[in-house]
Amino acid sequence: MGGSWRIGRIAGIDVYVHPTFLILLAWVGLAHYLEHHNPAEGLAGVVFILALFGIVVLHELGHALTARRFGIRTRDITLLPIGGLARLERIPDVPWQELVVALAGPAVNVVMAAAIYLGLMLGHGIAPIGETLGVGGRFVEQMFLVNVSLVLFNMIPAFPMDGGRVLRALLAMRLDYVRATKAAVAIGQGFAVVFGLLGLFVNPLLIFIALFVWLAGAQEAGLVTIRTALGGIPVQRVMITDFRALGPEDPLSLAVNHVLGGFQQDFPVLDEDRLVGILARNDLAAALGRHGPETPVAEVMQQDFVTADPREMVQAAFERLQVGHCRTLPVVQHGRLLGLLTADNLAEVLLLQETLREADRPRLFGMDRSSRQATDEVSIVPGDRVPIQRPDAGSLAGGRGREPSSFGADGPSDWGGHSML
Ligand SMILES: [Zn+2]
């Protein structure tokens, strides 16, 4: 997450802390100090928050290390004031695996709570419940409550919180994956509304959790829809084959004529038959202002570009299109340019596929396979820009610890009307 500081590395996973977290620490310390007029109380507040987030890190490690057993790496764990965020490179799309990964985090807290409970029982007998629950309870008892609260809150079935992932996984065992996701997201957004309303009256930090649940859920639903719709379609079925190309010596004015003529936005540049560059619309506009319309295309085109193979799956090409600067991917085989794949034409494919799917018609472009199979074969490549966020929001004892999560770094990006993580 942008602007976060690395504080360490556990089990090969970098742990970051967001600067706003320090504001939370300072705020809690100050609030405790002002309440009790005692520096020791202020320090105790800070220690409580640090211990709390230590527990959150262990919770996140529960997810991350379980995901690792399924071959899924975790990019990093970030501590935000609203909780921890483990960014898995992908969410397992095999339902039972998602179920296990989602349960692993709360399971860590269950184990810790049980251990503390056992320790307390062996130590001095079980304290009366009222004493344990009291605000003035001992530190160890507070940690017991923290663990219990983390389990209870995270198991609320508000997708994409842990409980919501459990729900999606259970639904996906019976339903089509897209339908299961949409149902889980709808239920999650219902909870988001409740969180938002409670936030207005109880704890304003709940409003930020509501926003997070709402947005992250919608993003993941969009992602799943796209992956499923694009699964099993080879590039050559959907690429544009009717397009204009330019020569390296052509003036930019020729490209302008083509753009105005409505042919396309980005142009492949061919030297004889060889693809030597891509003239992107943005570069064209910038160069026109700087150098004038007679400038040869070769001076402006991008020579460093990625291509697609006609036989590869659209899903894989789509990932590269997302990463690249250009909105057009030339489709090349044996050095020959066969077609173009653009963000716009993929949006058309999605729209058509989705329409057919909702009408329960056979798929238009790919083999007509169940979406379950289609999603099984796709995986999100590391280093792409589709990070999956696993929020762990928890309303904690005393109402501490909820603040906005930053969507800046991984925010939704519009693409053909779908928002993506
Ligand atoms: Zn969790």
Q: What is the mean pLDDT of residues 155-168?
A: 91
Q: What is residue 134's predicted lDDT score, i.e. its pLDDT?
A: 46
pLDDT for 24: 77
Q: Quick one: pLDDT band at residue 374, thresholds 50, 70, 90?
A: very low
CA of 134 to the centre of ligand 1 (A): 26
| Residues 6+ positions from 90 with CB-CB distance below 8 Å | 72, 379, 380, 388
Neighbours of 305 (CB within 10 A): 20
- Maximum mean pLDDT: which of 2-11, 275-284, 315-324: 275-284
Distance 389 CA to ligand 1 centre (A): 11
User: What ranges do the domains of the chain cover?
Assistant: 5-232+379-420, 235-349
The CATH topology of domain 235-349 is CBS-domain (3.10.580)
Are 64 and 70 contacting, i.e. CB atoms less than 8 angstroms apart? Answer: no
Distance from Cα 60 to the centre of ligand 1, integer Å: 6
In this structure, of 118-127, 158-167, 236-245, the range with the lowest mean pLDDT score is 118-127
pLDDT of residue 124: 66
pLDDT > 70? residue 416: no
Q: Which percentage of the chain shows pLDDT scores above 70? A: 80
For residue 106, the CA-to-ligand 1 centroid distance in Å is: 6
pLDDT at 387 over 60: no
Compute, in degrees rounded to 10, the torsion defined by CA atoms 99, 102, 104, 109. Answer: -130
Alpha carbon of 247 to ligand 1 centroid (Å): 54
Query: Ligand 1: distance of its center to the CA of 359 in Å?
Result: 36
Question: What average pLDDT score do residues 135-159 get?
Answer: 82
CA distance 84 to 393: 7
Ligand 1 center–CA 306 separation, angstroms: 37
Q: 330: cis peptide before it, omega within 30°? A: no
The strand pairing partners of 279, in sequence order, are 267
pLDDT top residue among 155 and 91:
155
Is-contact 391 216, C-beta < 8 A?
A: yes
Chain-centre distance for alpha carbon 225: 14
Average pLDDT over residues 392-405: 33
Residue 339 in 3-state DSSP? strand
Q: Span 156-183, mean pLDDT? A: 91
- Give SS3 for 391: strand
Predicted TM-score (pTM) above 0.85: no
What are 295's two structure tokens?
Answer: 């400038």
How far does residue 107's CA lie from ligand 1's centre (Å)? Answer: 9
Beta bridge partners of 391: 85
Separation of alpha carbons 410 and 292, rounded Å:
37
- Measure Cα distances from 107 to 42, 63, 103, 154, 162 in Å: 31, 9, 6, 11, 11
For ligand 1, the distance from its centroid to the CA atom of residue 396, given in whole angstroms, is 14
Rounded to the nearest whole angstrom, what is the distance from the C-alpha of residue 159 to the centroid of ligand 1? 11
Q: Give residue 131's pLDDT.
A: 54
Q: What is the mean pLDDT of residues 297-323?
A: 82
Between the CA of 125 and the centroid of ligand 1 the distance, in Å, is 31
